[in-house]
Structure 1
Amino acid sequence: MAKTVVPEAARQRRRRTKQGTVLSHGLIVETALRMLREHGAAGLTARRLGRALGADASSVYRYFRGMDDLTLAIADELISRAMRDWTATGDWQADLRGLGLRIHTAYLAHPQAAVLTANRVTGRAHEVAADEAILGTLRRAGFPDPAAARIYHAFIDQSLAFAALDAASLALPAPARRADEEVWRATYARLPARTHPHIAATAGLLVGRMNDSAYPVALDMLLASAAAELAAPAGEG
Protein backbone atom coordinates (compact mmCIF):
# COMPACT_ATOMS: atom_id res chain seq x y z
CA MET A 1 0.00 0.00 0.00
CA ALA A 2 1.31 3.44 -0.90
CA LYS A 3 2.35 5.58 2.04
CA THR A 4 0.15 8.55 2.84
CA VAL A 5 1.90 11.86 2.28
CA VAL A 6 0.82 14.45 4.80
CA PRO A 7 -0.37 17.79 3.31
CA GLU A 8 2.15 20.62 3.65
CA ALA A 9 0.13 22.51 6.24
CA ALA A 10 -0.05 19.46 8.50
CA ARG A 11 3.59 18.38 8.24
CA GLN A 12 5.17 20.47 10.97
CA ARG A 13 6.68 18.36 13.73
CA ARG A 14 5.44 18.97 17.24
CA ARG A 15 9.03 18.58 18.48
CA ARG A 16 12.20 20.01 17.07
CA THR A 17 14.88 17.75 15.59
CA LYS A 18 18.14 17.07 17.41
CA GLN A 19 19.62 20.06 15.57
CA GLY A 20 16.81 22.27 16.87
CA THR A 21 15.09 22.73 13.52
CA VAL A 22 11.56 22.01 12.38
CA LEU A 23 11.22 19.65 9.43
CA SER A 24 9.73 20.97 6.21
CA HIS A 25 9.59 19.98 2.55
CA GLY A 26 12.11 22.69 1.69
CA LEU A 27 14.55 21.72 4.44
CA ILE A 28 14.57 18.09 3.32
CA VAL A 29 15.20 19.04 -0.31
CA GLU A 30 17.99 21.43 0.69
CA THR A 31 19.60 18.80 2.91
CA ALA A 32 19.33 16.23 0.13
CA LEU A 33 21.09 18.63 -2.26
CA ARG A 34 23.89 19.04 0.26
CA MET A 35 24.22 15.29 0.70
CA LEU A 36 24.36 14.78 -3.07
CA ARG A 37 27.09 17.40 -3.32
CA GLU A 38 29.12 15.78 -0.54
CA HIS A 39 28.49 12.07 -1.14
CA GLY A 40 26.95 11.61 -4.59
CA ALA A 41 23.77 9.72 -5.44
CA ALA A 42 24.94 6.53 -3.71
CA GLY A 43 25.15 8.42 -0.44
CA LEU A 44 21.57 9.67 -0.51
CA THR A 45 19.38 7.23 1.40
CA ALA A 46 16.43 7.77 3.72
CA ARG A 47 18.48 6.55 6.69
CA ARG A 48 21.37 8.91 5.99
CA LEU A 49 19.02 11.76 5.19
CA GLY A 50 17.19 11.25 8.47
CA ARG A 51 20.49 11.23 10.34
CA ALA A 52 21.54 14.48 8.63
CA LEU A 53 18.22 16.05 9.61
CA GLY A 54 18.47 14.81 13.18
CA ALA A 55 15.26 12.83 12.73
CA ASP A 56 14.15 9.26 12.20
CA ALA A 57 14.30 8.06 8.59
CA SER A 58 10.56 7.45 8.68
CA SER A 59 10.03 11.20 9.07
CA VAL A 60 11.10 11.67 5.45
CA TYR A 61 8.09 9.64 4.35
CA ARG A 62 5.73 12.16 5.93
CA TYR A 63 6.78 14.50 3.13
CA PHE A 64 7.65 12.17 0.24
CA ARG A 65 6.22 8.88 -0.97
CA GLY A 66 9.71 7.50 -1.37
CA MET A 67 13.20 8.42 -2.47
CA ASP A 68 12.12 8.69 -6.11
CA ASP A 69 9.48 11.22 -5.09
CA LEU A 70 12.27 13.18 -3.38
CA THR A 71 14.36 12.94 -6.57
CA LEU A 72 11.52 14.55 -8.54
CA ALA A 73 11.26 17.29 -5.92
CA ILE A 74 15.00 17.96 -6.29
CA ALA A 75 14.58 18.21 -10.07
CA ASP A 76 11.75 20.71 -9.65
CA GLU A 77 13.84 22.71 -7.19
CA LEU A 78 16.65 23.06 -9.73
CA ILE A 79 14.17 24.38 -12.29
CA SER A 80 12.79 26.73 -9.65
CA ARG A 81 16.26 28.16 -9.09
CA ALA A 82 16.74 28.62 -12.83
CA MET A 83 13.44 30.50 -13.14
CA ARG A 84 13.90 32.66 -10.05
CA ASP A 85 13.53 36.36 -10.91
CA TRP A 86 13.40 35.60 -14.64
CA THR A 87 11.02 37.86 -16.56
CA ALA A 88 10.34 38.05 -20.28
CA THR A 89 11.52 41.22 -22.03
CA GLY A 90 9.69 40.69 -25.31
CA ASP A 91 12.89 39.89 -27.22
CA TRP A 92 12.25 36.19 -27.76
CA GLN A 93 15.83 35.28 -28.69
CA ALA A 94 17.34 37.14 -25.73
CA ASP A 95 14.68 35.70 -23.41
CA LEU A 96 15.28 32.10 -24.47
CA ARG A 97 19.05 32.52 -24.44
CA GLY A 98 18.90 33.92 -20.93
CA LEU A 99 16.61 31.17 -19.74
CA GLY A 100 18.73 28.44 -21.31
CA LEU A 101 21.87 29.79 -19.63
CA ARG A 102 19.99 30.02 -16.34
CA ILE A 103 18.96 26.36 -16.57
CA HIS A 104 22.52 25.31 -17.39
CA THR A 105 23.95 27.37 -14.51
CA ALA A 106 21.39 26.13 -11.98
CA TYR A 107 22.13 22.51 -12.78
CA LEU A 108 25.91 22.96 -12.78
CA ALA A 109 25.70 24.53 -9.32
CA HIS A 110 24.67 21.04 -8.13
CA PRO A 111 26.41 18.62 -10.51
CA GLN A 112 25.58 15.41 -8.65
CA ALA A 113 21.92 16.40 -8.48
CA ALA A 114 22.01 17.35 -12.16
CA VAL A 115 23.30 13.93 -13.20
CA LEU A 116 20.57 12.32 -11.09
CA THR A 117 17.66 14.45 -12.33
CA ALA A 118 18.33 15.96 -15.77
CA ASN A 119 16.53 13.13 -17.58
CA ARG A 120 13.43 13.20 -15.34
CA VAL A 121 10.03 14.68 -16.18
CA THR A 122 8.35 15.78 -12.95
CA GLY A 123 5.10 17.44 -14.04
CA ARG A 124 5.49 19.67 -10.98
CA ALA A 125 4.78 23.33 -10.55
CA HIS A 126 8.13 24.86 -11.46
CA GLU A 127 8.74 22.56 -14.40
CA VAL A 128 5.26 23.30 -15.74
CA ALA A 129 5.83 27.05 -15.26
CA ALA A 130 9.11 26.85 -17.20
CA ASP A 131 7.48 24.93 -20.04
CA GLU A 132 4.63 27.46 -20.20
CA ALA A 133 7.14 30.32 -20.31
CA ILE A 134 9.18 28.77 -23.13
CA LEU A 135 6.16 27.86 -25.25
CA GLY A 136 4.58 31.26 -24.59
CA THR A 137 7.77 33.02 -25.68
CA LEU A 138 7.82 31.07 -28.94
CA ARG A 139 4.12 31.51 -29.71
CA ARG A 140 4.20 35.26 -28.99
CA ALA A 141 7.21 35.54 -31.30
CA GLY A 142 4.97 34.31 -34.11
CA PHE A 143 5.93 30.66 -34.44
CA PRO A 144 2.98 28.47 -35.44
CA ASP A 145 2.16 25.78 -32.94
CA PRO A 146 3.91 22.88 -34.76
CA ALA A 147 7.13 24.94 -34.97
CA ALA A 148 6.79 26.15 -31.37
CA ALA A 149 6.45 22.57 -30.11
CA ARG A 150 9.40 21.39 -32.20
CA ILE A 151 11.70 24.24 -31.15
CA TYR A 152 10.62 23.90 -27.52
CA HIS A 153 11.52 20.20 -27.67
CA ALA A 154 14.96 20.93 -29.10
CA PHE A 155 15.55 23.83 -26.69
CA ILE A 156 14.73 22.01 -23.46
CA ASP A 157 16.43 18.75 -24.44
CA GLN A 158 19.55 20.64 -25.51
CA SER A 159 19.61 22.59 -22.23
CA LEU A 160 19.24 19.49 -20.07
CA ALA A 161 21.56 17.34 -22.18
CA PHE A 162 24.40 19.85 -21.87
CA ALA A 163 23.61 20.29 -18.18
CA ALA A 164 23.94 16.54 -17.65
CA LEU A 165 27.09 16.27 -19.78
CA ASP A 166 28.86 19.19 -18.14
CA ALA A 167 27.67 18.21 -14.67
CA ALA A 168 29.03 14.70 -15.15
CA SER A 169 32.46 16.20 -15.80
CA LEU A 170 32.23 18.43 -12.72
CA ALA A 171 31.11 15.46 -10.63
CA LEU A 172 34.28 13.51 -11.45
CA PRO A 173 36.98 13.30 -8.78
CA ALA A 174 39.35 16.22 -9.31
CA PRO A 175 42.33 14.05 -10.44
CA ALA A 176 40.21 12.31 -13.08
CA ARG A 177 38.82 15.61 -14.33
CA ARG A 178 42.30 17.12 -14.61
CA ALA A 179 43.54 14.03 -16.46
CA ASP A 180 40.66 14.28 -18.95
CA GLU A 181 41.37 17.96 -19.52
CA GLU A 182 45.07 17.31 -20.10
CA VAL A 183 44.37 14.78 -22.90
CA TRP A 184 43.76 17.59 -25.40
CA ARG A 185 47.21 19.03 -24.76
CA ALA A 186 49.11 15.84 -24.08
CA THR A 187 47.67 13.70 -26.88
CA TYR A 188 45.71 15.60 -29.52
CA ALA A 189 48.10 18.54 -29.74
CA ARG A 190 51.01 16.13 -30.40
CA LEU A 191 49.49 14.09 -33.21
CA PRO A 192 51.56 14.51 -36.39
CA ALA A 193 50.14 16.12 -39.51
CA ARG A 194 51.41 13.16 -41.53
CA THR A 195 48.92 10.78 -39.92
CA HIS A 196 46.24 13.14 -38.59
CA PRO A 197 46.30 16.26 -40.79
CA HIS A 198 42.90 17.63 -39.73
CA ILE A 199 43.50 17.24 -36.02
CA ALA A 200 46.99 18.72 -36.37
CA ALA A 201 45.62 21.71 -38.27
CA THR A 202 43.10 22.52 -35.57
CA ALA A 203 44.96 21.26 -32.47
CA GLY A 204 45.66 24.70 -31.07
CA LEU A 205 42.02 25.65 -31.43
CA LEU A 206 40.89 22.39 -29.84
CA VAL A 207 43.17 22.86 -26.85
CA GLY A 208 41.69 26.32 -26.36
CA ARG A 209 38.06 25.20 -26.62
CA MET A 210 37.45 21.60 -25.65
CA ASN A 211 37.62 21.94 -21.87
CA ASP A 212 34.92 24.62 -21.94
CA SER A 213 31.23 23.89 -22.37
CA ALA A 214 29.93 24.12 -25.92
CA TYR A 215 26.44 24.91 -24.63
CA PRO A 216 26.46 28.69 -25.31
CA VAL A 217 27.58 28.05 -28.90
CA ALA A 218 25.04 25.27 -29.43
CA LEU A 219 22.28 27.43 -27.91
CA ASP A 220 23.12 30.33 -30.23
CA MET A 221 23.09 27.99 -33.23
CA LEU A 222 19.65 26.66 -32.25
CA LEU A 223 18.24 30.16 -31.78
CA ALA A 224 19.78 31.41 -35.05
CA SER A 225 18.20 28.49 -36.89
CA ALA A 226 14.83 29.26 -35.30
CA ALA A 227 15.16 32.95 -36.20
CA ALA A 228 15.95 32.09 -39.83
CA GLU A 229 12.88 29.87 -39.92
CA LEU A 230 10.70 32.63 -38.52
CA ALA A 231 12.03 35.12 -41.06
CA ALA A 232 11.61 32.80 -44.05
CA PRO A 233 8.73 33.60 -46.43
CA ALA A 234 5.60 31.56 -45.88
CA GLY A 235 5.91 28.11 -47.38
CA GLU A 236 9.67 27.91 -46.89
CA GLY A 237 11.57 26.18 -44.09
Structure 2
Amino acid sequence: MAKPVVAENERRRRRPTKSGEVLSERLIVDTALRMLREHGNAGLTVRRLGTALGADPSTLYRYFRGIDDLTLAIGDVLIGRALEGWRARGDWRADLRDLGVRVHGAYLAHPQAAVLTASRVTGRAHEIAADETVLGVLRNAGFPDADAVRIYHAFIDQSLAFAALDAASLALPEAARRADERVWRATYARLPADTHPHIAATAPLLVARMNDSAYPAALDMLLDSAAWQLRSLRGTSGS
Protein backbone atom coordinates (compact mmCIF):
# COMPACT_ATOMS: atom_id res chain seq x y z
CA MET A 1 0.00 0.00 0.00
CA ALA A 2 1.34 3.44 -0.91
CA LYS A 3 2.48 5.55 2.01
CA PRO A 4 0.77 8.92 2.56
CA VAL A 5 2.66 11.90 1.23
CA VAL A 6 3.35 14.50 3.90
CA ALA A 7 3.14 18.26 3.27
CA GLU A 8 6.46 19.80 2.25
CA ASN A 9 6.86 21.91 5.38
CA GLU A 10 6.24 18.83 7.54
CA ARG A 11 8.46 16.35 5.74
CA ARG A 12 11.70 18.30 5.26
CA ARG A 13 14.58 16.52 6.95
CA ARG A 14 15.85 18.22 10.08
CA ARG A 15 19.36 16.96 9.45
CA PRO A 16 21.30 17.35 6.20
CA THR A 17 22.11 14.38 4.00
CA LYS A 18 25.63 12.98 3.76
CA SER A 19 26.33 15.52 1.05
CA GLY A 20 25.46 18.32 3.47
CA GLU A 21 22.22 19.37 1.80
CA VAL A 22 18.78 19.36 3.36
CA LEU A 23 16.52 16.93 1.53
CA SER A 24 13.62 18.52 -0.36
CA GLU A 25 11.34 17.71 -3.27
CA ARG A 26 13.30 20.07 -5.53
CA LEU A 27 16.63 18.46 -4.61
CA ILE A 28 15.23 14.99 -5.32
CA VAL A 29 13.89 16.04 -8.72
CA ASP A 30 17.14 17.79 -9.69
CA THR A 31 19.13 14.71 -8.66
CA ALA A 32 16.77 12.45 -10.60
CA LEU A 33 17.25 14.62 -13.71
CA ARG A 34 21.01 14.27 -13.35
CA MET A 35 20.74 10.51 -12.95
CA LEU A 36 18.54 10.24 -16.03
CA ARG A 37 21.03 12.27 -18.03
CA GLU A 38 23.97 10.16 -16.87
CA HIS A 39 22.45 6.66 -16.69
CA GLY A 40 19.22 6.69 -18.70
CA ASN A 41 15.76 5.61 -17.60
CA ALA A 42 16.89 2.22 -16.34
CA GLY A 43 19.26 3.91 -13.91
CA LEU A 44 16.53 5.73 -12.00
CA THR A 45 15.57 3.61 -8.99
CA VAL A 46 14.71 4.51 -5.42
CA ARG A 47 17.82 2.75 -4.15
CA ARG A 48 20.18 4.50 -6.57
CA LEU A 49 18.49 7.83 -5.95
CA GLY A 50 18.91 7.42 -2.21
CA THR A 51 22.59 6.65 -2.69
CA ALA A 52 23.06 9.70 -4.93
CA LEU A 53 21.36 11.90 -2.33
CA GLY A 54 23.23 10.40 0.60
CA ALA A 55 19.92 9.47 2.25
CA ASP A 56 18.12 6.30 3.21
CA PRO A 57 16.02 5.28 0.18
CA SER A 58 12.93 4.90 2.36
CA THR A 59 13.11 8.63 3.14
CA LEU A 60 12.10 9.39 -0.44
CA TYR A 61 8.63 8.00 0.24
CA ARG A 62 7.98 10.97 2.49
CA TYR A 63 8.12 13.11 -0.65
CA PHE A 64 6.82 10.81 -3.40
CA ARG A 65 4.62 7.74 -3.48
CA GLY A 66 7.12 6.01 -5.73
CA ILE A 67 9.05 6.36 -8.98
CA ASP A 68 5.90 7.02 -10.98
CA ASP A 69 4.95 9.92 -8.72
CA LEU A 70 8.51 11.22 -9.05
CA THR A 71 8.20 10.90 -12.84
CA LEU A 72 5.15 13.17 -12.80
CA ALA A 73 7.04 15.72 -10.71
CA ILE A 74 9.93 15.65 -13.19
CA GLY A 75 7.55 16.30 -16.08
CA ASP A 76 5.99 19.19 -14.22
CA VAL A 77 9.40 20.72 -13.53
CA LEU A 78 10.23 20.59 -17.26
CA ILE A 79 7.02 22.46 -18.07
CA GLY A 80 7.83 24.95 -15.34
CA ARG A 81 11.21 25.62 -16.90
CA ALA A 82 9.51 26.32 -20.22
CA LEU A 83 7.31 28.93 -18.53
CA GLU A 84 10.19 30.69 -16.74
CA GLY A 85 10.55 34.23 -18.06
CA TRP A 86 7.73 33.87 -20.59
CA ARG A 87 5.42 36.88 -20.90
CA ALA A 88 2.54 37.46 -23.28
CA ARG A 89 3.30 40.29 -25.73
CA GLY A 90 -0.22 40.70 -27.05
CA ASP A 91 0.29 38.99 -30.40
CA TRP A 92 -1.41 35.62 -29.88
CA ARG A 93 0.39 33.86 -32.72
CA ALA A 94 3.84 35.06 -31.70
CA ASP A 95 3.07 34.32 -28.05
CA LEU A 96 2.02 30.73 -28.78
CA ARG A 97 4.97 30.14 -31.08
CA ASP A 98 7.37 31.35 -28.41
CA LEU A 99 5.70 29.16 -25.81
CA GLY A 100 5.74 26.11 -28.07
CA VAL A 101 9.43 26.53 -28.82
CA ARG A 102 10.11 26.92 -25.11
CA VAL A 103 8.23 23.73 -24.22
CA HIS A 104 10.02 21.77 -26.94
CA GLY A 105 13.40 23.16 -25.86
CA ALA A 106 12.84 22.49 -22.16
CA TYR A 107 12.20 18.82 -22.87
CA LEU A 108 15.13 18.47 -25.27
CA ALA A 109 17.45 19.87 -22.60
CA HIS A 110 16.75 16.60 -20.75
CA PRO A 111 16.12 14.01 -23.47
CA GLN A 112 16.01 10.95 -21.21
CA ALA A 113 13.52 12.68 -18.92
CA ALA A 114 11.51 13.83 -21.95
CA VAL A 115 11.12 10.27 -23.23
CA LEU A 116 9.91 9.27 -19.77
CA THR A 117 7.48 12.13 -19.17
CA ALA A 118 6.25 13.71 -22.42
CA SER A 119 3.24 11.37 -22.67
CA ARG A 120 2.16 11.84 -19.06
CA VAL A 121 -0.52 14.11 -17.58
CA THR A 122 0.77 15.38 -14.23
CA GLY A 123 -2.13 17.46 -12.94
CA ARG A 124 0.49 19.52 -11.11
CA ALA A 125 0.90 23.26 -10.75
CA HIS A 126 3.15 24.04 -13.74
CA GLU A 127 1.15 21.90 -16.14
CA ILE A 128 -2.08 23.54 -15.00
CA ALA A 129 -0.48 26.98 -15.37
CA ALA A 130 0.63 26.15 -18.92
CA ASP A 131 -2.84 24.93 -19.86
CA GLU A 132 -4.44 28.04 -18.40
CA THR A 133 -1.95 30.22 -20.27
CA VAL A 134 -2.51 28.62 -23.69
CA LEU A 135 -6.29 28.66 -23.33
CA GLY A 136 -6.15 32.28 -22.17
CA VAL A 137 -4.09 33.34 -25.19
CA LEU A 138 -6.56 31.67 -27.55
CA ARG A 139 -9.73 32.92 -25.87
CA ASN A 140 -8.37 36.46 -25.58
CA ALA A 141 -7.50 36.36 -29.28
CA GLY A 142 -11.19 35.84 -30.02
CA PHE A 143 -11.46 32.09 -30.63
CA PRO A 144 -14.79 30.60 -29.48
CA ASP A 145 -14.35 28.15 -26.63
CA ALA A 146 -14.82 25.02 -28.76
CA ASP A 147 -12.16 26.23 -31.21
CA ALA A 148 -9.85 27.36 -28.43
CA VAL A 149 -9.96 23.88 -26.89
CA ARG A 150 -9.44 22.18 -30.25
CA ILE A 151 -6.40 24.34 -31.07
CA TYR A 152 -5.05 24.03 -27.53
CA HIS A 153 -5.34 20.23 -27.83
CA ALA A 154 -3.45 20.17 -31.13
CA PHE A 155 -0.88 22.70 -29.89
CA ILE A 156 0.08 20.92 -26.68
CA ASP A 157 -0.02 17.41 -28.14
CA GLN A 158 2.09 18.50 -31.10
CA SER A 159 4.65 20.17 -28.84
CA LEU A 160 4.96 17.13 -26.58
CA ALA A 161 4.90 14.60 -29.43
CA PHE A 162 7.78 16.32 -31.20
CA ALA A 163 9.59 16.67 -27.88
CA ALA A 164 9.30 12.92 -27.31
CA LEU A 165 10.33 12.10 -30.90
CA ASP A 166 13.31 14.43 -30.95
CA ALA A 167 14.35 13.49 -27.42
CA ALA A 168 14.28 9.78 -28.32
CA SER A 169 16.80 10.52 -31.06
CA LEU A 170 19.02 12.54 -28.75
CA ALA A 171 18.84 9.81 -26.12
CA LEU A 172 20.28 7.21 -28.51
CA PRO A 173 23.91 6.19 -28.11
CA GLU A 174 26.09 8.56 -30.09
CA ALA A 175 27.12 5.90 -32.60
CA ALA A 176 23.52 4.91 -33.33
CA ARG A 177 22.42 8.52 -33.72
CA ARG A 178 25.25 9.30 -36.13
CA ALA A 179 24.47 6.16 -38.12
CA ASP A 180 20.83 7.22 -38.47
CA GLU A 181 21.88 10.66 -39.64
CA ARG A 182 24.18 9.18 -42.30
CA VAL A 183 21.36 7.15 -43.87
CA TRP A 184 19.95 10.19 -45.68
CA ARG A 185 23.24 10.87 -47.42
CA ALA A 186 24.48 7.29 -47.77
CA THR A 187 21.22 5.67 -48.87
CA TYR A 188 18.47 8.08 -49.91
CA ALA A 189 20.74 10.46 -51.79
CA ARG A 190 22.02 7.56 -53.90
CA LEU A 191 18.71 6.07 -55.01
CA PRO A 192 18.44 6.11 -58.82
CA ALA A 193 15.92 8.31 -60.56
CA ASP A 194 14.60 5.48 -62.72
CA THR A 195 13.33 3.55 -59.69
CA HIS A 196 12.72 6.37 -57.18
CA PRO A 197 12.19 9.55 -59.23
CA HIS A 198 10.64 11.66 -56.47
CA ILE A 199 13.28 10.84 -53.87
CA ALA A 200 16.05 11.40 -56.42
CA ALA A 201 14.59 14.77 -57.44
CA THR A 202 14.42 16.01 -53.86
CA ALA A 203 17.48 14.22 -52.45
CA PRO A 204 19.58 17.37 -51.77
CA LEU A 205 16.65 18.93 -49.91
CA LEU A 206 16.04 15.75 -47.94
CA VAL A 207 19.69 15.55 -46.93
CA ALA A 208 19.62 19.20 -45.86
CA ARG A 209 16.42 18.95 -43.80
CA MET A 210 15.72 15.46 -42.50
CA ASN A 211 18.24 15.41 -39.68
CA ASP A 212 16.73 18.55 -38.19
CA SER A 213 13.53 18.67 -36.18
CA ALA A 214 10.36 19.34 -38.15
CA TYR A 215 8.76 20.91 -35.10
CA PRO A 216 9.24 24.60 -36.06
CA ALA A 217 7.65 23.97 -39.48
CA ALA A 218 4.81 21.92 -38.01
CA LEU A 219 4.19 24.58 -35.36
CA ASP A 220 4.00 27.30 -38.02
CA MET A 221 1.55 25.20 -40.04
CA LEU A 222 -0.69 24.78 -37.00
CA LEU A 223 -0.60 28.48 -36.15
CA ASP A 224 -1.13 29.51 -39.78
CA SER A 225 -4.23 27.32 -39.89
CA ALA A 226 -5.52 28.82 -36.64
CA ALA A 227 -4.85 32.36 -37.91
CA TRP A 228 -6.77 31.64 -41.12
CA GLN A 229 -9.70 30.35 -39.06
CA LEU A 230 -9.69 33.44 -36.85
CA ARG A 231 -9.72 35.71 -39.89
CA SER A 232 -12.66 33.73 -41.25
CA LEU A 233 -14.54 34.09 -37.96
CA ARG A 234 -13.96 37.82 -37.92
CA GLY A 235 -15.10 38.11 -41.54
CA THR A 236 -18.26 36.17 -40.79
CA SER A 237 -19.07 38.36 -37.80
CA GLY A 238 -18.37 41.51 -39.81
CA SER A 239 -15.69 42.73 -37.40
Deviation at 1:6, TM superposition (A): 1.6
Q: Is the aligned partner of 1:95 residue 2:128? A: no
Q: Give, in angstroms, the shift of residue 2 of structure 1.
A: 2.6
- Of the candidates 226, 233, 236, which is equivalent to residue 234 of structure 1? 236
Stretches of 4+ aligned residues off by more than 6 angstroms: none
Give per-residue Cα distances to partners, 1:134-167, cap 9 Å, x unaligned. Answer: 0000000000001000000000000000000000
Task: Name the structure 1 match of 2:68.
Answer: 68
What per-residue deviation string (whole Å, max 9, x for no partner) do you get for residues 57-87 of structure 1?
0011010011110000000000000000111
In structure 1, what is the Cα distance between the partners aligned to 2:51 and 2:2? Answer: 24
Map of 1:86-235 to 2, 5 A cutoff? 86-232=86-232, 233-234=235-236
* Residue identity matched to 1:75: G
Cα separation, 2, equivalents of 1:192 and 1:203: 10
Q: How does 1:22-41 map to 2 (within 5 A)?
A: 22-41=22-41
| Cα distance in structure 1, aligned partners of 2:143 and 2:16 | 53
3-state secondary structure, aligned to 2:194 = coil
Counterpart CA distance in 2 for 1:201 and 1:56 is: 61
Offset of 1:234 from its aligned partner?
Answer: 2.4
1-structure distance, mates of 2:60, 2:37? 19
Q: Report the alpha carbon displacement of residue 14 of structure 1 after superposing the two structures with TM.
A: 2.0
Whole-angstrom CA distance in 1 between matches of 2:182 and 2:35: 30
Residue matched to 1:84: 84
Which deviates more, 88-97 or 7-16?
Answer: 7-16
- TM-score using structure 2 length: 0.97
Secondary structure of 1:172 counterpart: coil
Query: C-alpha distance in 2, partners of 1:23/1:117?
Result: 23
| TM-score normalised by L of structure 1 | 0.98
Letter of the aligned partner of 1:234 in structure 2? T
**TM-superposition CA deviations, 1:194-228 (whole Å, max 9, x none):** 10000000000000000000000000000000000
One-letter amino acid matched to 1:117? T
Structure 2 runs not aligned, ≥5 long = none
Q: Structure 1, residues 71-128: CA drift from partner, whole Å, max 9, x if none?
A: 0000000000000011111100000000000000000000000000000001110000
